[in-house]
Amino acid sequence: MLLRSLVICCYLMGAYWASYHFPSLRMVFYPTLGAFSFLFMHRVDQIKDVGRITLGAIIAVTLGSVMYSISHGTLSFFLTAIITISLIQVLKWNAAPILSVSFIPFFAHTTSIWALPAAVLVSLLGLIIFVWLIAKVEQVPVVSRWSEAFSQFLNKMMPTPTAIKKEL
């Protein structure tokens, strides 16, 4: 899990750096990307599920962009929320960040309908590539043994919650 965490954090750092230094890539990084990263990190072996969640995110942000382009008001925001929640329930996407990503257009205020869906697509596809690479690297015996040994070392060094509770 440590290797996954390191790789995901490097990806998030790279996305943030790119969006900070290049104005044209400003929307590649968004806070919900962190939530998607954490979700995907725990579903490395379920790539089909990750694909469904990504498709759901693209649909949701496109819905949000279209609704925002129609009206910037609260009714449009409400309709985006209710439609997205319905889609999540009906299609069983089981990923809360999908709802969050549908709201990005209401806070980013882009002028193009397709700018945000394109940015979300690019960032999530990049994330999927990193998740796929993590899965492949973790299958290498040397890496898996090193990761397991390091995790055991950390577990020995970190106090358990009961030990902390006793000290208090």
Q: List, as one string, the DSSP characters of 67-96.
A: HHHH--SHHHHHHHHHHHHHHHHHHT---T
Q: What is the pTM of this model?
A: 0.81
CA dist list (Å): 67 to 27, 58, 76, 81 = 18, 14, 6, 10
Q: Are 103 and 77 in contact (CB under 8 A)?
A: yes
- The per-residue pLDDT for 29 is 76
Ranges of residues in the chain with a pLDDT under 70 are 24, 159-168
Q: Name the residue among 108, 119, 94 with its Cα closest to residue 39.
A: 94
Q: What is the pLDDT of residues 103-150, one digit of tens each?
A: 999 988 877 889 889 989 999 999 999 988 888 888 888 877 887 787
